[in-house]
Each structure stands twice: as C-alpha cells, then as structure tokens.
Structure 1
Amino acid sequence: MDAAPSTAPIAPAPVTQRVVIVGGGTAGWMAAAALARFLPASTRITLIESEAIGTVGVGEATIPGIRLFNQMLGLDEAQFLRATQGSFKLGIRFEGWSGADSGYIHAFGSIGRALGLVPFHHYWLRGGGGANPASLWGHMASAQAAMAGRFAPDPGRPDLPSGLAWAYHFDASLYAALLRRHAEATGVVRIEGRIGSVARDTGGRINHVVLEGGRREAGDLFIDCTGFRALLIGETLAEPFDDWSELLPCNRALAVAGERTSPLPPYTRAIAHGAGWRWRIPLQHRTGNGLVYDSRHLSDGEAADRLLSALRGEAVGEPRLLGFTAGRRRRAWVGNCVALGLAAGFLEPLESTSIHLIQSGIARLLEFWPGPMLQPVEIDAYNRLTEVEWRGIRDFLILHYHANARPEPFWAERRAVPLPDGLAARIALFRASGRVLRDGEELFAEPAWIQVLIGQGILPSGHHALADALSADELDDLLTLTRRHAAQVAARLPTHDAFLAAHCAAPVPKVCP
C-alpha cells in the first residue's frame, strides 16, 4: 500500500546571490560586515577597493544608534574602542551660535520624566523654565555628566532609569580596518584594484564591472560606496543629484589632526565662526579638528589660518581640503544598484549623522532585501523612506543655521532664507505651545528637537494644557526630583579619562626614532 502523500511544504532551493560592493572605507566595510552577518551563507559578497584611492577618513563622531550596529556584529565595546582609539560621547556642545559667549549642549538620553501623555518639558515650562532656558539641562543626566567630564555606562536603579545614552568618537580609518578584519573572517572576499569600466545589460541594469587589468566581476546586486565620485549611481546610471546648497550653503571643509587633549571631554564641540563652524573630536591618541565654511564668505587660505590658530597644541600633518555640495541622489536604489555613504549624498556632520545614514541605509536594504527577482514596489518603498530620513535630517541642520543670533553677513543670510514648509510649521507649533511635531519614523526624537530649539533661543509661549493637572506642590516635587536625579547620576560616575584608562585604553602608538 502506497504511503499517503506528504502535506508538508517543500522548501525551495537556496538562491545564491552575488553582491558586489564597489569601494571600501567606512561605508563599504560597514555594508560588507553587516551583509555577511545577516545574509544566507550561500550569498557571495565581494568588495572591490584600491589602496591607491584615499578615503575621507577623518575623526568621526556618532550618535547612539552605532551601538546597536556594533552589537549586531558582535563587536565588544571595549575592544572596539581600543582598536579605534575611541572615546565616549554624551552629546554635542554648541558654542557661539547665538553670540560669542553663548552655548548649549544637545545631549543624548531623556529629559526629566514624562507623566502619562505629557512630555516633561511642558511641566518645566509651566514651572517657569522659559525664564531660565539653561535650567532645562539641569534635568538631564547625560548633560550633567558631559559638562562634568564624567562617564560610565551607569545602570541606574531598575525602577528609575538613569536617563543616560551615549555614542562614540573614533578614528574612521581604524574603524574601517576593524570592520574589514571582521568581514573577511566571515567570508567576504576583497579584491584589490581600480574599476576601469562598468557594463550594463539590455535592461539598463549593471551586469559587471571591469577592473584595470581586465578582470571582470559580475553581480546580482551592486552597492556603490565610491564616495563623492558615485561611480555606479551617478556616472553609470546618471541618477540626478538634488542640490540643497541654497538651504545649506557651506561647501568646504578643512580637516587636520591635533595633539591629544587632556582631560578628554565626553562630547563633541561644534563652534560657530564668521562663515560656518568648526568641530573638535577627542580621541585617545589625538584630536580631530575641522572647519566647515561657505567659500563665498571665506577663502581657503583664511580658513586654514582660522583652523590652525584655534588648535590646542600642534597640528599633526597638514590640513586636508574637502569640497562638497549638500544634497542627495534623488533615488538611492536604482535598478540593481544601491548607493551608501557619500555616493548617496552629503550632509555636513553638524549633528554627527554621516555614519548613521550609512547604517540606516544598510538596515533598510536588509528590510527590503530582494529575493530571486527585484520588485519595483519594494525599491520605491526603500527610496521613499530614504528621502523622508534625509529631508528630516536636512531640516534639523537648517534649524541650527536659521535660529542664530550672530552679526556676520553669512549668518544674517541664513536667518533670511525661507524655510522648508515642514520646518516652518514645526517651529511655529513649538513657539505656540511647546509641542514637537515629528514626521513618522524620522531620526531625531523629541528631546533632540527640544534642546536645539530652546538652545537656539526659540521659546514657547505656552505649554500643554494637561500639565496644569498637577498642583503647585506636585509640580515643585517633580522638578526637584528630576533635577536631583540628574545631579546624583552624574556625581556617582568616574571621570571620562578614568573610565577609559580602566576599561578601554588603547595601545600607545609607536613613535619612530
């Protein structure tokens, strides 16, 4: 008697896909490491790069999402920091954006303690916070720890979260090297060489690339990590570039390493100057310095003088000039090509979003990872979500420039430029009621918008009506509790230098005699 036929589904044969990443650096090796971690073992991942082509490779500042990326790869935090000469980051200190002696911090983590549906800052506003804007940061553990130079991953009490959140500063070239070792150990194949030409099939998709010397590398999906050149998405597929320089006109940056500072502050500094701003990123072995500027208001020579005169200690090497245009490729995914990093676009690193945009592009690619056939509707969804994210970050950067109080012509121009409609509406709503309107799953959450709006001098004239439900005594108790909590969390942390020395100290670089 024949056996009854099985009703179990028959598993399809595995589909072997060939992924070709063109370009290395941070973007290429982040993509390689992540795809090797999450794609089926049958997927062949190849990365093509040339040692002869330099990368931007400056000291990098990040936002807290990088912790999740590293954790997903299985990178130990202390080992990662040792390998990249890294330090911890609790936020960004903005200096001089409203005048020579002005300053505020955009700290990571929570502000105070929300009650029900009402965010904490509405209670702070009701309690008279608008008359003393700087008092807002007295209710943030991360802000208090940052300005005191303290750090540790404090667990807090289980019933009362600490409110701390952190990211990192690190050497971008060392991070790329760490990811390369990690990716190659998990099967990624690296090919040394430069691309000589790119071949397309009859449908217009990329079929293969040809290296100088004649080697061909075919693929099913190509990832463009070729930096500003955008070899695949731009030169080959001619995807238009949306120029945002009218809204974000800075088009030059000078970067130079400086001597290590001590103590190491657990925050990035963004210091305004007459035609832009400069950064200071503290690493264990050196300090990353840079000056971002609008070349219509400052010459390259003047910018170099301004940058070098502001260094603490001696410069390590000569300043490197980077030219750029703010904007993005209209679509980041075209056919069988996905652009990541500078190939996808550029937004100045005012809020340390460069690494995040690579990370989110990779995460979104995995979310819409194609099966045996590319689905146009999924590619369209990827591109819509990418556009929302980029525009949200763009508007957040514009806010810093628009709400300034500096006298120079560059800054006066920034105040006068009409805002994108969504940003204008967001500012108007906050001025009226203290409410923060966010667009879907955009990157920056309410605490970020609140700190920059208030830090840049945009203060609400009202607060949420439900904040009036507390009695005067209850309101005072809430404000006292959150202020005390922030101070106590910061006070029990060791200094940033002490924590690094005890847990994450990088080897001292060898010095040639």
Structure 2
Amino acid sequence: MERSDPQTGRGPVRRVLIAGGGTAGWMAAAALSRILGKGLDIRLVESEQIGTVGVGEATIPTLVTFHRLLGIPEQEFMTAAQGTIKLGISFEGWRQREHRYIHSFGTTGQDHWSAGFQHFWLRGRERGLAEGYEAYCLESRAAERERFAHLPHNGLNYAYHMDAAGYARFLRGFAEGHGVRRIEGKIAEVRTDPDSGDIASLVLEDGSELAGDLFLDCTGFRALLIGQALRVGFEDWSHWLFNDSAYAAQTTAVRDPVPYTRAIAGEAGWQWRIPLQHRVGNGIVYSSQYIEQAQALEAFTSSLEGELVARPWHLRFRPGRRIRCWHRNCVALGLAGSFIEPLESTTIHLIQRGIMHLLRCFPAVIAQQDIDAYNRQIDAEVEHVRDFVVMHFHLTERRDSAYWNACRLMEIPASLRQRIELFRETGKVFHVPGELFAENSWIQVMLGQGVMPRQHHPAADLMGDEELSRFLGEIRTRVERVLGQLPGHGAYLGSYCPAPKPEPPGPPPRDTAPGRA
C-alpha cells in the first residue's frame, strides 16, 4: 500500500493536471495516457481563445521514434498534419552570403574502429581522391535530389514537416481515446498550499477549481505555474543567442515540397521555409538590437513566394532556460521550461525528452531525489542543444553587417569552444553518449561553416592511394545506387499519405513559439 511522504505530506500521484494544450500539452497527454493512463486521472485545461501557431513545424528524427513508442500510425499522422519528409536543413548564406550546405540526418561514410570516416575523407582530400563530404551520405544526396522512400531496416533517416495545429488536433484525438479529459477554460488563478508551497489547484475564469497531485506547465512563454506561481527564475542566454523576435506567416505552395527545411541567413537574423503538402510555413527570426521591426517585416514579406494565407503575426521571445524545470509538484514542458532558438528544430525534441525523462522517473510519491535527477538530465540536454545552435552563428566568415560581426566575435561557452578547437586541431569530435546531436552532425556543420581540421588520425595514413580511392569510391557508389532507386519526394507523398485540403487558418496566435528550422 502506498503511503504519503512523512516529510512533505505528499500522497500518491493519482491526478495529473496539464495546464495548456498546443504541441507540448497534447504530446504530454498522449504519452502519459498511452503509457500510464490506466493508473492515472489525466486532465488537460486549455482555451479555444488562446491560439497556437498554424504554420509548418520542422522536427528531427527523434519524433519518429516517439511515435513508434506510442504506436501512432505514421500515415494517419502525416495525412492529418499535411506532413512532408525532412531529411535535413539547407543552410544558405551562413558561412558566406552565397554559400550553401546541408546538415542531414544521416551518417556519412563508414567508420573504422580506430577512427571516424572523416579522417579517411580528410586524407583522401589531401591526396585529391575525395569528393565533397556530402557525396558519401545518402540522406544529404537524397535531399539535394528531392527523393525519398521508406527503406528496409530504417535505411534512410528522416523527420517530418507538419502543421502544428493539425498535429495538436491529431494528438488530442489520440489522447482522448486513451482516457484524457479535456477541460475548456482560461486559468484565472494558480492556488498553492500555504504549508508545503506546492500547487494545490487551478481556478478557471468560470470559478471552477481543479485539484491535482502533479501539474505540467505547458502554458508557453507565460509560464503561469512554474514562473508566475512558483517564482522559479529564468536564466537568460541572449548574450549568446541574439535573436529575440520573429514574424510568421503561411503562404500557398508554388512548387512540389522539398524534403528539407530552408534556413536562409539575412542581415540581422535568418528566415525559415517549411514546405507542407498544400502550403508553406514561413518566418523571419531577428535581433531587435540590429534591425527595426518594420525593416524586418519588409525584408520578410518581400522575399515570400506564393500568396499569403493570413497576415504575418509578430512574436517576441527570450532565449534561455528555467533554472529548474521541475520544482515542487510542477514540471515545465516546452516554452515554459526553455527556448533556445528556432534553428535546428530542437523545441519539439526538448518537449519529447522532458516527457520521456518524466515517464522514466514517474513518481509513486513525489520525492526530491526524482526532481533533482530530472533537472540534471534536462540541464545537460538543454546546454548541449544551446552549444550546437550557438555554433551556427559564431562560426561565420560574414563581415557584411554589425549582426554577423557580433556573432563572429562573441565569447562562446567554454564547452563549445573546446569542441570546436578539438575538431580544428585533430579532426576528432567530443561526444557524450546519449547527446542529441551525434558526431556526424557536428562534423557536417563545422565543415559547412568553414572549419577544416589541421590533421587527421594516423590510421588513415595506413591506406595507400589505391586502397583509399577504392574505399571512398565504393561508399559513393553505394550511395548513388540507392539514390537512383528512390522516387521523387512529392510523388511518394501522393501515394503514401495524401493530405486533405487545409482548413482556413484560425486567429493569430498569442504567446507561442515561431516555426522551427
């Protein structure tokens, strides 16, 4: 028989109350109800008056795994969310104004137990035997050629572009099918227990009061529970991440969707383009210190392709993280817990990781040991993502604007500097098992941004020119052979998950995050 904690007075966790819907809220509701729903009373409070972003969202391959764990049918999800495939991100103008490279989701080449493929590629490059690094990666080549198909044994790594509102609706149906109860209403007050300091209940505008044992704060940047009620502080990272504003808009599609996100660098920030089946999600992310709002809007709207589906809406945000994402009996997910930058599509991933860590240490009775372990894991993951994203801005050769000069010259986190210098000097990548971005991601971005290692592993010198040429050539031939068998991305979507015509857009969103690249 479960007992209350004698020190805190907390009883068994039976009632989970999720504050806020959107992607974060309904992802949490779907996962908790699917895995633990038989033993919990799960309710979600949201208001139709508070909109969510209706532009395309870009994701990373971990969401594919998340869906498989929950048993979500991919074709149903992609049809509902007007989904397309994402094989990587096209970075345009980041290193230099006219330079382009793709950060793909795949592995490149073939590692040897003694050294990574990049060392053999570097040796081949010295000897004039190697082509571009991307030539040895199937995902990168498929993105460039706009091809895709599901391959046996997960032979092609991919993620999704999707409509965020459609995704939330799909997850709502899934979660309600597993017993989640949705409550319509706006939260007027968060009541705390005067003795313990825990959250006791949420009071809605109609006067109804909802009690719970564990509360999930999915209220976005407002952080009504973790920030306003429990007063957990926020660590500001704007000295590393300059962007603090965005415009977002939807446009009609003028061509077949490409299987990659476009991240197009501008004078004081960058723009995203995320292709769905029937429209395109667009946005500009910029620093208000380096460009006026009206100038940013003009730069954004003048570059759009297709017709606007709805007028652009403006968003403000502050990069950083909550000092503790789990405090007392409240866990912050999504924007209430952290927001790095839209680049590299990490926001949905961090929501997912927060949910998965919560499931793994889900408390019978909330204990400080669980809280501390959760926060350590989340802190490490958020810092890793921060470093990876900051790297894109810092490793630039652009000198054509005050913004890019500031990015290039800024002091970066020591943890990031160590990774860059290790690669620059040795070609090696520091990587901790379990980190989101694997070695190949670091390599692709550092090479793409112009960091060329000064040396390679001695193991690569043991191959003569003939053997090395054959080794590299066989890898490239395998990539091209598979690539030649893949259908066009648009044609594959048309047979695999054709989406219905989109619904008219809803009201402009409030307190929500921009689309992700």
Q: What residue number does 2:6 align with?
A: none
Give the aligned residue type for 2:371.
Answer: I
Q: What residue number does 2:24 align with?
A: 27
Q: What residue number does 1:260 align with?
A: 253
Following superposition of structure 1 onto structure 2, how do residues 243-258 of structure 1 map, counting pairs within 5 Å? 243-258=236-251
Give the aligned residue type for 1:347.
Answer: I
2:356 matched to 1:363?
Answer: yes
2:326 matched to 1:336?
Answer: no
Q: What residue number does 1:96 align with?
A: 93
Instruction: Decide which of 370, 388, 410 is 1:417's aligned counterpart.
Output: 410
Q: Is the 8 A contact 1:16 1:42 kept in 2?
A: no
2:59 matched to 1:67?
Answer: no
Range that drifts further, 473-482 or 436-445: 436-445
* Closer/same/farther in 2, CA of residues 229 and 214 from structure 1, 3 Å limit: same
Post-superposition offset of 1:473: 2.2
| 1:461 match: secondary structure | coil
Q: Is the 8 A contact 2:247 2:297 kept in 1?
A: yes
Alpha-carbon displacement from aligned partner over 1:67-119 (angstroms, at most 9, x marks no partner): 01111222111111110011000000000112221000000111011122321
Post-superposition offset of 1:129: 6.2
Alpha-carbon displacement from aligned partner over 1:1-47 (angstroms, at most 9, x marks no partner): xxxxxxxxx999x9661000000001000000000011151210000
* Closer/same/farther in 2, CA of residues 115 and 205 from structure 1, 3 Å limit: same
Give the aligned residue type for 2:51.
Answer: G
Q: Is the 8 A contact 1:129 1:135 kept in 2?
A: no
* Closer/same/farther in 2, CA of residues 261 and 279 from structure 1, 3 Å limit: same
* Closer/same/farther in 2, CA of residues 304 and 129 from structure 1, 3 Å limit: farther
Q: Is the 8 A contact 2:130 2:472 kept in 1?
A: no
* C-alpha distance in structure 2 between counterparts of 1:448 and 1:498, whole Å: 28
Q: Is the 8 A contact 2:37 2:179 kept in 1?
A: no
Instruction: Decide which of 438, 446, 452 is 2:445's aligned counterpart.
Output: 452
* C-alpha distance in structure 2 between counterparts of 1:432 and 1:131, whole Å: 21
Post-superposition offset of 1:150: 0.5
Instruction: Decide which of 14, 33, 44 is 1:36's aligned counterpart.
Output: 33
* C-alpha distance in structure 2 between counterparts of 1:67 and 1:180, whole Å: 18
Alpha-carbon displacement from aligned partner over 1:290-336 (angstroms, at most 9, x marks no partner): 00000111111111111111111211111110100100101100010
Following superposition of structure 1 onto structure 2, how do residues 389-468 of structure 1 map, counting pairs within 5 Å? 389-406=381-398, 407-468=400-461
Q: Is the 8 A contact 1:154 1:493 kept in 2?
A: no
2:182 matched to 1:190?
Answer: yes
Q: What residue number does 1:204 align with?
A: 197
Alpha-carbon displacement from aligned partner over 1:267-301 (angstroms, at most 9, x marks no partner): 00000000010000000110000000001111111
* C-alpha distance in structure 2 between counterparts of 1:130 and 1:238, whole Å: 60
* C-alpha distance in structure 2 between counterparts of 1:133 and 1:301, whole Å: 47
Following superposition of structure 1 onto structure 2, how do residues 381-396 of structure 1 map, counting pairs within 5 Å? 381-396=373-388
Following superposition of structure 1 onto structure 2, how do residues 229-378 of structure 1 map, counting pairs within 5 Å? 229-371=222-364, 373-378=365-370
Alpha-carbon displacement from aligned partner over 1:468-496 (angstroms, at most 9, x marks no partner): 23333221111001111111221110000
Post-superposition offset of 1:263: 2.0
* C-alpha distance in structure 2 between counterparts of 1:19 and 1:102, whole Å: 49
Post-superposition offset of 1:132: 9.9
* C-alpha distance in structure 1 between counterparts of 2:501 and 2:329, whole Å: 44
Instruction: Decide which of 486, 501, 508 is 1:493's aligned counterpart.
Output: 486
| 1:70 match: secondary structure | helix
Q: Is the 8 A contact 2:142 2:483 kept in 1?
A: yes
* Closer/same/farther in 2, CA of residues 337 and 269 from structure 1, 3 Å limit: same
* Closer/same/farther in 2, CA of residues 404 and 297 from structure 1, 3 Å limit: same
Give the aligned residue type for 1:400.
Answer: H
Q: Is the 8 A contact 1:16 1:44 kept in 2?
A: no
Q: Is the 8 A contact 2:37 2:178 kept in 1?
A: no
Range that drifts further, 133-142 or 258-267: 133-142
Post-superposition offset of 1:439: 3.6
The number of aligned residues is 497
Give the aligned residue type for 2:115.
Answer: V
Give the aligned residue type for 2:46.
Answer: E
Give the aligned residue type for 2:372.
Answer: D
Q: Is the 8 A contact 2:200 2:213 kept in 1?
A: yes
Alpha-carbon displacement from aligned partner over 1:110-155 (angstroms, at most 9, x marks no partner): 1011122321111101111698997000000001110001011122
Range that drifts further, 44-53 or 503-512: 503-512
Consecutive unaligned residues of structure 2, counting only runs of 5 or more, are 4-10, 506-517
* Closer/same/farther in 2, CA of residues 482 and 464 from structure 1, 3 Å limit: same
| 1:487 match: secondary structure | helix
Q: Is the 8 A contact 1:87 1:282 kept in 2?
A: yes
Q: Is the 8 A contact 1:25 1:57 kept in 2?
A: no
Alpha-carbon displacement from aligned partner over 1:320-354 (angstroms, at most 9, x marks no partner): 10100100101100010000011112111110111
* Closer/same/farther in 2, CA of residues 217 and 508 from structure 1, 3 Å limit: same
Instruction: Decide which of 156, 165, 168 is 1:173's aligned counterpart.
Output: 165
* C-alpha distance in structure 2 between counterparts of 1:195 and 1:165, whole Å: 41
Alpha-carbon displacement from aligned partner over 1:134-186 (angstroms, at most 9, x marks no partner): 7000000001110001011122xx7xx84x20000000010000000110111
Q: Is the 8 A contact 2:87 2:260 kept in 1?
A: yes
* C-alpha distance in structure 1 between counterparts of 2:114 and 2:427, whole Å: 14
Q: What residue number does 1:6 align with?
A: none
Give the aligned residue type for 1:169.
Answer: H
| 1:127 match: secondary structure | helix
Q: What residue number does 2:509 align with?
A: none
RMSD value, Cα: 2.0
Q: Which runs of 4+ in 1 moved over 4 A?
A: 129-134
Name the % identity. 48
Q: What residue number does 2:55 align with?
A: 58
Give the aligned residue type for 2:90.
Answer: R
* Closer/same/farther in 2, CA of residues 195 and 306 from structure 1, 3 Å limit: same
Consecutive unaligned residues of structure 1, counting only runs of 5 or more, are 1-9
Give the aligned residue type for 1:388.
Answer: A
Q: Is the 8 A contact 2:13 2:213 kept in 1?
A: no
| 1:109 match: secondary structure | coil
* Closer/same/farther in 2, CA of residues 234 and 510 from structure 1, 3 Å limit: closer
Q: Is the 8 A contact 2:59 2:348 kept in 1?
A: yes
* C-alpha distance in structure 2 between counterparts of 1:28 and 1:130, whole Å: 54
| 1:80 match: secondary structure | helix
* C-alpha distance in structure 2 between counterparts of 1:27 and 1:131, whole Å: 49
Range that drifts further, 502-511 or 325-334: 502-511
* C-alpha distance in structure 2 between counterparts of 1:310 and 1:187, whole Å: 45
Instruction: Decide which of 16, 33, 47 is 2:44's aligned counterpart.
Output: 47
* C-alpha distance in structure 2 between counterparts of 1:377 and 1:216, whole Å: 30
Post-superposition offset of 1:508: 2.4
